[in-house]
Amino acid sequence: MRHDHLITSKQLSRADIETVLDRAAEIAADPSAVADRYSNTLLGLLFFEPSTRTKMSFETAMKRLGGDVVDMGSVESSSVKKGETLADTVRVIEGYADALVLRHPKQGAATMASEFVDVPLLNAGDGAGHHPTQTLLDLYTIRENAGLDDLTIGIMGDLKYGRTVHSLAHALTNFDAHQHFISPESLQLPREVVYDLHQEQEGTQIREHDSLEEILPSLDVLYVTRIQRERFPDENEYQKVAGEYQIDAETLEKADDDLTILHPLPRVDEIAPEIDETEYAAYFEQAHNGVPVRMALLDLLLDGGESDE
Amino acid sequence: MRHDHLITSKQLSRADIETVLDRAAEIAADPSAVADRYSNTLLGLLFFEPSTRTKMSFETAMKRLGGDVVDMGSVESSSVKKGETLADTVRVIEGYADALVLRHPKQGAATMASEFVDVPLLNAGDGAGHHPTQTLLDLYTIRENAGLDDLTIGIMGDLKYGRTVHSLAHALTNFDAHQHFISPESLQLPREVVYDLHQEQEGTQIREHDSLEEILPSLDVLYVTRIQRERFPDENEYQKVAGEYQIDAETLEKADDDLTILHPLPRVDEIAPEIDETEYAAYFEQAHNGVPVRMALLDLLLDGGESDE
Amino acid sequence: MRHDHLITSKQLSRADIETVLDRAAEIAADPSAVADRYSNTLLGLLFFEPSTRTKMSFETAMKRLGGDVVDMGSVESSSVKKGETLADTVRVIEGYADALVLRHPKQGAATMASEFVDVPLLNAGDGAGHHPTQTLLDLYTIRENAGLDDLTIGIMGDLKYGRTVHSLAHALTNFDAHQHFISPESLQLPREVVYDLHQEQEGTQIREHDSLEEILPSLDVLYVTRIQRERFPDENEYQKVAGEYQIDAETLEKADDDLTILHPLPRVDEIAPEIDETEYAAYFEQAHNGVPVRMALLDLLLDGGESDE
């Protein structure tokens, strides 16, 4: 992998993705081998939006590599409130850290910020833009549970606004996956995303559905996302739609025994708690996989940086 | 000590308590012996309520053992705001950490959370429920200053709402202490707590008073707690009550020379600053003792965990 | 250097300042020599006011020395909200840490706090009072770029309220610098500050101006500060004044080729972005210098403490 920054999963070739996933698997198999590898390394955390799992997972990853973090803290407690530009903030903080992680509510923020810094910058979400480390941990979890070859995946829920979904769908075209998109009409994939996906691979591999039932038996993986109440002007409308896209034991009667269920979390009620203890459920494992995947990424970017200088 | 989680001091036998206090004393005597013992260990901090000293003291304890922490941060900046359940939050974060510390405003939260995780979970306060590490550091400070055998202790202030007090009183029954409870009538120990204490040991060892004066000369330890202004609908009523339960040099004229004064802190005006420099005052030492006691607990739980697997 | 606490740059002699700057230069030249020097050391951070760069820079400094921090967090999440005094808070937290860093909105807070603790305390800003580590990093950056001997410096912007400016101006009298103060009349240096500066060195070396133009060609260093909008009751008045004290490429046509421009950051629009890439700009370097300078200070205070005991 030869990149200075990680801004979008679109910049990653199939070979790049496999390099990251292979390294993550090595690290997961023997974390002690890297436990002191970056003992003098500091990762700068710039989260301009709240986040629990992405931030904690990056922090854990850096610390599991023997390093440490310096955290800008919340926007309320920072110089941003005094009118400082993002370009100035990242240029100051790069003086404290060996790499930066940025989450920002504005699309394109990570690209812009990366142009001002010399240390590696990892995009941890830029509004409606990209969130490449989420995609990589999704791919890792799919590979561990179902394999990425000959994959048939259903992606269900809010497909209109979910950057996680668009990014994952795009990455899966590298592996010629059969992708089924299941959502109410009002939350379908944006037409331009569908168009892009068709450009990337044969059209027959992308299908849209408004019900899970017909397609469920053929799925290796079902990726569920949260339907956000605030998208609906009418509470009744939300209740109707949300109820149809909830998974419980009854829903899964027609599923393949080897089905793997994923969810980027947090969930509200898209997946009933009774599923948690079944063999289907891999969403907590998926969250935990954020650590080895981000360890692998940090290792590849920091190491690459070193051999570069 | 053979426990997976530490939820309440009620789960600890006298032998368990002594194991923790002995280990804490060893660590306090030679902290360098354990300074790198847990160098690859991460403690997850989940504080759903503000806290300064408990949180900093756990963080210090883990770092003094060579480890590090990953902190969920405030509820405002977390996924909890998106409607995630506590069960989901702890199951995600256990993937990042080797042990968890939980503070939560709801009684029973720690017990519930502990059922969902495989790593050791330490309760750092669950609303009106328990706060066992506070009790252990109180016991440690009493033992260091006055001994736990043949102890006569006065516990004064808000005895109605203070979980610290209930938990300490219960733990002291293991040591057959003579306990005197001093409070205004409106802030007396709840009847069920008194009942429980009488069940645990001979009734003559539990006495209630509405004034410190008569009992002060016989005390080895005086444990003072804050009377919270917000408990009183009427400011005048508060002033009258609070004034009677404040300690200053004059109050202490009749005290034994060896009296030890404790307070869980923060204080407002229950203890006059003029006491701080006297031999009586042990409340800052008490706060500092949170570090070796929590180091001992972490050591016992993490070590136990290891030999278990 | 023989000090227990660092409260104000006024306590530092020229020899003290040179000791710090020399040590900072050594550390900057070879940070790996000290990377594990304080591996069992904890720095307590008490920030009663928001801060990004001062706090991150202290945290980075301690971690680059191999140590770690324990952070009180925001006032909102602390015991301060329960009415605890600063004296109590610092006495509790000194039990967790080997040194303390304090920022507080009230002038004199650091002096008061230092009287209650035995570990070294560093003032990171006490309201309108002092901010000695900022002054030291300013001096370090001036020395690296222009030298401190025979220095001619212009200090421009809000000279009335800026503690940074008062502290720097005072420290520069140790080096017999020629100091030019450039500001609108309403934001001139307070008369008592001017009086003090004249007491410290020959009067001819302190001059005040209301325009940069005439003095610019003679300057080795131009130190720019932010003019705060909220100082002006009238927006038009602000716009007029602010516009006159902004630096862009045109302004600098008459500057010496070796001019160094500094700014304590954050900036709003006092310096046009087009200056950032020129040889003049040293303000990001200045922010980064906070790390070696604070490493040097911590090293001198912690080491001094050790040999003392």
What's the pLDDT at B18?
A: 97
d(CA A226, CA A266): 8
Instruction: Please give the CATH topology (third level) of the domain spanning C9-130+290-308.
Output: Rossmann fold (3.40.50)
DSSP string, C114-172: HTT-SS-EEEEEETTS--HHHHHHHHHHHHHHT-STT-EEEEES-TTT-HHHHHHHHHH
Distance of CA B133 to the CA centre of its chain: 5
Return the closest-CA partner of residue B50 out of B100, B111, B123, B124: B124
Binding-site residue numbers of C are 53-54, 82, 103, 131, 134, 163, 226, 265-266
Match 């370090």 to its residue by tokens. Answer: C140
Return the closest-CA partner of residue A258 out of A140, A169, A144: A144
Interface of B with C in 255-274 (CB under 8 A): 265-268, 273
The per-residue pLDDT of chain A, averaged, comes to 91
A60 touching B (Cβ < 8 Å): yes
Give contacts of A78 with chain C, Cβ < 8 Å: 50, 52
B306 touching A (Cβ < 8 Å): no
Tell me the pLDDT tens digit for each residue of A238-296.
887 877 889 999 999 999 999 999 999 999 889 999 999 999 999 999 999 999 999 99
Q: Which residues contact C121 (CB under 8 A, 6 or more apart)?
A: C5, C6, C7, C90, C99, C100, C101, C102, C110, C113, C114
The CATH number corresponding to B9-130+288-308 among 2.60.120.10, 3.40.50.1370, 3.30.420.340, 1.10.150.80 equals: 3.40.50.1370
Residue B27 structure tokens: 């660590």
Give the dihedral sign, CA B53/B56/B60/B61: positive
Match 């600053």 to its residue by tokens. Answer: B273
Which regions of chain B are under pLDDT 70?
1-3, 77-81, 202-204, 304-309
The CATH number corresponding to C133-287 among 3.90.1150.10, 3.20.20.70, 3.30.450.20, 3.40.50.1370 equals: 3.40.50.1370
Per annotation, catalytic residue among C19, C37, C41, C53:
C53
CA angle A153, A157, A158 (to 5 degrees): 120
CB contact under 8 A, A70 and C50: no
Tell me the pLDDT tens digit for each residue of A184-238.
988 999 999 999 898 887 656 899 999 999 999 999 999 999 887 777 778 888 8
For the cut 50, the answer to whether the pLDDT of residue A307 exceeds it is no
Amino acid, res. A21: L
Q: Does residue A154 contact residue A189 with C-beta atoms inside 8 Å?
A: no
CB contact under 8 A, A96 and C68: no
Q: Tell me the percentage of chain A whose pLDDT exceeds 90.
A: 76
Q: Which residues contact A9 (CB under 8 A, 6 or more apart)?
A: A17, A130, A132, A135, A136, A167, A170, A171
Size of interface A-C (CB pairs under 8 A): 65
Helix axes C290-308, C14-29, angle to 10 degrees: 110
Q: Which residues contact A73 (CB under 8 A, 6 or more apart)?
A: C52, C55
What's the pLDDT at B306?
A: 43
Q: What is the dihedral of CA C49, A84, C273, C221, to 10 degrees?
A: -10
**CATH class of the domain comprising A9-130+289-308:** alpha beta
Tell me the pLDDT tens digit for each residue of A287-306.
999 999 999 999 999 985 44
Interface of C with A in 202-241 (CB under 8 A): 226
Ranges A2-6, A81-85, A256-260, B198-202, most confident: A256-260
What's the pLDDT at B307?
A: 39
Q: Who has greater pLDDT, B306 or A149? A: A149
Enclosing H/E stretch for B114: helix B109-114
For the cut 70, the answer to whether the pLDDT of residue C3 exceeds it is no
**Which region among A8-12, A122-126, B118-122 has the lowest average model confidence (pLDDT)?**
A8-12
- Say yes or no: ipTM exceeds 0.90: yes
Q: Which of A44, A73, A83 sits opposite C266 (nearest CB)?
A: A83
Q: Chain B residue closest to A74 (CA)?
A: B77
Tell me C180's DSSP state: E
| Helix, strand, coil share of chain A (percent; to 5) | 50, 15, 35
CB contact under 8 A, A78 and C35: no
What's the pLDDT at C305?
A: 41
Q: Which of A40, A42, A92 sits opposite C284 (nearest CB)?
A: A92
Q: Chain A residue closest to C226 (CA)?
A: A82
The backbone torsions φ and ψ at residue C179, rounded to the nearest 5 degrees and listed phi first, read -115, 125
Per annotation, catalytic residue among C5, C23, C55, C103:
C103
Q: Chain A residue closest to C56 (CA)?
A: A70
Instruction: Using pLDDT thresholds of 50, 70 and 90, give the confidence band for residue C229.
Output: confident
Q: Using DSSP bridges, classify how beta strands A121-126 and C260-262 pair: parallel, antiparallel or unpaired.
A: unpaired
Instruction: Using pLDDT thresholds of 50, 70 and 90, give the confidence band for residue C204.
Output: low
Give contacts of B291 with chain C, Cβ < 8 Å: 95-96
Cα separation values, C134 from A186, B182, C6, Å: 55, 51, 12
Tell me B34's DSSP state: G
CB contact under 8 A, A53 and B77: no
For the cut 70, the answer to whether the pLDDT of residue C203 exceeds it is no
What's the pLDDT at A201?
A: 74
Return the closest-CA partner of residue B274 out of B245, B242, B248, B243: B248
Same fold, C9-130+290-308 and C133-287: yes
Tell me the pLDDT tens digit for each residue of C134-173.
999 999 999 999 999 999 999 999 998 888 899 999 999 9
Residue C73 structure tokens: 């967090």
For the cut 60, the answer to whether the pLDDT of residue C2 exceeds it is no
d(CA C177, CA C180): 10
For testing contact with chain B, the best of A43, A48, A53 (most B CBs within 10 A): A53
Instruction: Using pLDDT thresholds of 50, 70 and 90, give the confidence band for residue C186.
Output: confident
**Which region among A137-141, C9-13, C204-208, C223-227 has the lowest average model confidence (pLDDT)?**
C204-208
Q: Does residue C125 contact residue C45 with C-beta atoms inside 8 Å?
A: no
What's the pLDDT at C82?
A: 72
Number of CB atoms found within 10 A of residue B241's CB: 19
B32 touching C (Cβ < 8 Å): yes
C83 touching B (Cβ < 8 Å): yes
Q: A53 labelled as ligand-binding?
A: yes
Tell me the pLDDT tens digit for each residue of C82-135.
778 999 999 999 999 999 999 999 999 999 999 999 999 999 999 888 899 999
Domain boundaries, chain B: 9-130+288-308, 133-287
What's the pLDDT at B309?
A: 34
What's the pLDDT at B305?
A: 41
Q: Hey, is C206 helix, strand or coil?
A: strand
